[in-house]
Amino acid sequence: MTIRCIRCGNEFDASAKVCPNCGEPLTDFLRKYLREPIDGKYEIMERLGVGGMGEVYKVRHTFLGATRVIKVIRGNIAGSADGKERFIREARLATRVQHPNVATLHDFSELPDGSQYMVWEYIDGQNLAQRIRTNGKLTPRQAVRIAIQALHGLEAIHRAGIVHRDISPENIMLTREDDRVKIIDLGVAKAEGDGSTQAGMFIGKLRYASPEHLGLLSETERIDGRADLYSLAVVLYEMLDGRPPFEATSPHDYLLIHSKETQFRPLSLPAELPGSTDLQGVMKRALERDRDKRYATAADFASVLEAVEKTLPGPLDTTIETNMPVAPAAPAAGDKTAIAAPFRVTEPAAPTAIQTAPDEKLVAPKTIMEPKKQLPLAVLGTMIGVLLLAIIVLLVVLIRRATHPSTTVAETNTVATTSSAAATTTVDVAPPATDTTPTVVPVIETTATTETAPVTATETTETVAPVTTTTVAPVTQTVAPKPKRPKKVVPAPVPVPVTDTTPPPPPPPAPVTVVRFVEGGDDSTNESAIAATKRELGSVSQIAVRGSGGDADLTTKLVNIVKGQVGVSDSANVVIEFNGHIERRGFGRKTRSGNATISKGGQVLLRYEMPAENYRTGDDPAEAFARVLLQVLGK
C-alpha cells in the first residue's frame, strides 16, 4: 500500500521508515493516520514537530473545514500515571482561560491505541524566538507592544489561578497578519496552591527562569504569578538588547548568578532615545531577585509599559543617529510622539530642539519647518544649459554688430549686380586698415565661380550725404565659397554588446543551516534540531565515527552502541566527530561533558553539546549522544 508524504507529496510504500524523496520520517502514528482521519474527523496536513512524548500536527476538520493543531501523546507515555496526569492537567487548565492573547483549546480525547490528543487553535505565524533569530533585536516600541499583549494574556492566566512556569520566546506566538500575541503550551503549568511540584525542583527553561524556579524559596513558600513576570521581563530584555540579561550553561551557574545577586548590564539603548531612561527603570524593577519588590500583578506591569510606550518613537522614527539627515513624516494632529531622528529645517539652520516639560514628559517641537522641495537634477541641468546657450548667442550677435556696422545701414548701399542667371553669393569686403572714417562696407554679388571682373562700389559716410562715388581698380579676387551649414551632430554608434554564448556557471548549492542540540536544553528546540537533521540526512545505511579528542574508551563505546543499528565504515559519507570526557571525583561523584558533530558530504548539519556537569548516576557522554544519534538516523 502506498501513502503520500506530507512534506513533498511523493507517493511511496507505507512500510518505509522515511520518504525516499525528502527523508521525512514516518512514525507508526503517521503511517496509520495518513490513510484515515484522526478520530474520524481530523485530516493530517503537515507535521509541525516530534519529540519524546508525542507529535504535533497541523490538521483540517473534515466536517467544519477549520484548520487546527493536534498535539498527540504516545500511548506508552499516556499509559504511565505521571504522563497521563500531566497531559490531562494541561487540558483542564487550558479550559479555564479564554482570552485573545492565549491560545484556545477546542477538544480533548483518547484514541483506541491508548494515545491521547488535544486540539488547539491554529496560529498562522511564528514564535518570538524565530522573530528574534531572523530580525535580531526589535525596536523599543515593537518589543514593548509585544510584552504588553503577553502581560494581558498572563493576567487572564493568573486570574484563572494558573502559573504558566515556562514563559519564553518559544511559547509566545505572533500572528502573521497583525502580530497579535498568543501564549501557548501550558504543559508545565500548575494551579496555584498545587503541591505537585516540590520546592527546589526545576521546571522550564534555564535562561528565563526566575530565582523561585531555581529553588530560592523557603519550604513553606510556593511559586506564584510573579515568577512568570520575571520570565517575561527576561524576554522583554532579550527583545530590546538581542541577548538575555544573564547567560550561563547549567542550573548550578544560574543559581550562583541569582544567589549572589549579580547585576545585569544596562540595556544597550541610546541615552537620547525618548523613553530610554524609563525603560531602564522598568527593567530594574521587573528583574528584582526579591519577588516582593517586583510588580505585584501582570496588570501593574502592563500599565507601566503602556505609559512608557506613549513616549517611545514610532516605527519610522527609531533611528537616533544616521549618516544623512532624513526628514520625518509630519506628525498626526494631536500626536505627541517625540521625533528622535535628526532632520533638515529651512529656518533656522540649527536642528529644532525637543523641549521637556517640568514633569519630564516629552512634548512635540513647537515649530517644524518642512524641507524645501527641490527640482530633479536632470531638469535643473537642462535649464542651465539652455540659459547659457541663449547668452552665448546674444554675445555673438552683439560682437558681429560692433565689428560690421554695415549690417545696420545696408539699405543705403548701392549694390552692383550681375545679370548672371546662376545662383549668387554675397561677400563682405573689409575696409582698408588705414581708413579711419567709418564707412559702409560695399557688398559685391557675384557668381559662385572664380572669375576676374571689375567691381564697382559706392562708399557712403555715416552722415549718408553727400555721396562720393569712387571708381575702384579691377581687383582679382577669389569668391569665398558658400558658408557651410552646421553639420548634423550624429551620435556615435552604440557598440552592440557581444552576446556571450558560454552558459553561466551553475549557482552554488544553498548553504545548509547548522542546528544545535544541547543536552538538558530546551525540549522543543532540541526536537526541531533532530527533525531538521533527519530531513537533511535522508536514508542512511553507513556512518563513519571519529574521535576528536577526549576519552578514547568513550568513542569505542559509542561505536559499539550504534553498530547494532547502522553500519560503521571509515569511507561513509555521513561522518560523526565525537569528543567525550568523564572525570571521577571520588565518593561516587563524576563530571561529564562532551560535544559532537554530524556531517554529510563535509557539511556540518548538527552540533551536539553536553555542558560540563556533576552527576552520580545517569548516561555518560557516549550513551547520551548515541541516543540522539539514533533518533537522527531514525533507528
pLDDT tens across 348-382, in order? 333 333 333 334 433 333 333 444 445 555 556 77
Q: How far is CA 148 from the centre of its chain?
A: 22
Picking from 50, 11, 10, 1, the residue whose alpha carbon sits closest to that of residue 30 is 50
Contact 530, 505 (CB under 8 A): no
C-alpha span between 320 and 348 (Å, rounded): 21
C-alpha span between 242 and 221 (Å, rounded): 33
SS3 for 567?
A: strand
C-alpha span between 326 and 313 (Å, rounded): 15
Is the model's pLDDT at 340 over the cut of 50? no
Picking from 201, 207, 140, 141, the residue whose alpha carbon sits closest to that of residue 168 is 207
Q: How far is CA 229 from the centre of its chain?
A: 28
Contact 579, 612 (CB under 8 A): no
* Mean pLDDT of all residues in 455-476: 43
Amino acid at position 457, single letter: A
Q: What is the CA radius of gyration of the chain?
A: 44
Picking from 123, 336, 148, the residue whose alpha carbon sits closest to that of residue 239 is 148
Alpha helix stretches (DSSP H) within 449-537: 523-537
Is the model's pLDDT at 551 over the cut of 50? yes
CA separation (Å) from 36 to 20, 41, 61, 73, 417? 22, 9, 13, 18, 113
How many degrees, rounded to 5, is the angle at CA 40 between CA 34 and CA 46?
35
Confidence band, pLDDT 50/70/90 cuts, at residue 470: very low
Which uninterrupted H or E stretch holds 544? strand 542-550
What pLDDT does residue 140 have?
Answer: 93
Is the model's pLDDT at 429 over the cut of 60? no
Is the model's pLDDT at 459 over the cut of 60? no
Contact 184, 171 (CB under 8 A): yes
C-alpha span between 354 and 343 (Å, rounded): 12
Contact 127, 173 (CB under 8 A): yes
Burial of 487 (0-12, 13-18, 19+ CB in 10 A): exposed
C-alpha span between 363 and 356 (Å, rounded): 6
* Mean pLDDT of all residues in 14-34: 82
Strands 542-550 and 567-568: parallel
Burial of 237 (0-12, 13-18, 19+ CB in 10 A): buried
SS3 for 565?
A: coil
Which has more confidence, 511 or 469? 511
CA separation (Å) from 440 to 453, 460, 497? 21, 6, 60
pLDDT tens across 584-629, in order? 776 667 888 999 999 998 899 999 999 988 876 778 899 999 989 9
Nine cell digits for residue 246: 544573564
CA separation (Å) from 559 to 519, 543, 556? 20, 10, 5
Alpha helix stretches (DSSP H) within 459-504: none
Is the peptide bond between 365 and the residue preceding it cis, with omega within 30 degrees of 0? no
CA dihedral (129, 131, 132, 136) in degrees, to 10, reads 160
Confidence band, pLDDT 50/70/90 cuts, at residue 487: low
Q: What is the secondary structure of 205-264 as a DSSP string?
A: -GGG--TTTTT-S-TT----HHHHHHHHHHHHHHHHHSS-S---SSHHHHHHHHHTTPPP
pLDDT tens across 174-222, in order? 999 899 999 998 866 666 555 544 444 445 578 898 888 887 777 778 8
Which has more confidence, 455 or 492? 492
% of the chain exceeding 90 in pLDDT: 29
Backbone φ and ψ of 234, nearest 5° = -65, -40
CA separation (Å) from 498 to 152, 491, 495, 501, 502? 65, 20, 9, 9, 11
Strands 443-447 and 468-470: unpaired
Contact 606, 515 (CB under 8 A): yes
Is the model's pLDDT at 65 over the cut of 80? yes
Amino acid at position 514, single letter: V
What pLDDT does residue 522 have?
Answer: 83
- Number of CB atoms found within 10 A of residue 383's CB: 10
Q: Which of the residue ranges 334-348, 489-503, 508-522, 532-546 has the most confident prediction, judged by mean pLDDT?
A: 532-546
Confidence band, pLDDT 50/70/90 cuts, at residue 302: very high
Nine cell digits for residue 186: 501550558
Contact 155, 328 (CB under 8 A): no
Is the model's pLDDT at 173 over the cut of 90? yes
What pLDDT does residue 23 have?
Answer: 81
C-alpha span between 390 and 386 (Å, rounded): 6
What pLDDT does residue 486 have?
Answer: 57
- Can you say whether residue 145 is alpha, beta or left, with left for phi > 0 and alpha for psi between -120 and 50 degrees? alpha
Contact 169, 128 (CB under 8 A): yes
Contact 330, 314 (CB under 8 A): no
* Mean pLDDT of all residues in 26-36: 83
- Can you say whether residue 185 is alpha, beta or left, with left for phi > 0 and alpha for psi between -120 and 50 degrees? left
Half-sphere exposure of 178 (CA within 13 A, CB side): 5
Q: What is the DSSP letter of 416?
A: B
SS3 for 602?
A: coil
Contact 237, 245 (CB under 8 A): yes
- Structural domains for the chain: 37-121 (3.30.200.20), 141-315 (1.10.510.10), 515-632 (3.30.160)
| Mean pLDDT value across the chain | 74
Confidence band, pLDDT 50/70/90 cuts, at residue 404: low
What pLDDT does residue 232 have?
Answer: 97
Q: How far is CA 529 from the centre of its chain?
A: 22
What pLDDT does residue 97 have?
Answer: 92
Burial of 41 (0-12, 13-18, 19+ CB in 10 A): middle
- Number of CB atoms found within 10 A of residue 58's CB: 16
What pLDDT does residue 493 have?
Answer: 55
C-alpha span between 163 and 517 (Å, rounded): 28
Nine cell digits for residue 427: 561677400
Is the model's pLDDT at 41 over the cut of 90? yes
pLDDT tens across 66-95, in order? 999 999 987 666 667 677 777 788 788 888
C-alpha span between 63 and 70 (Å, rounded): 16
C-alpha span between 623 and 450 (Å, rounded): 114
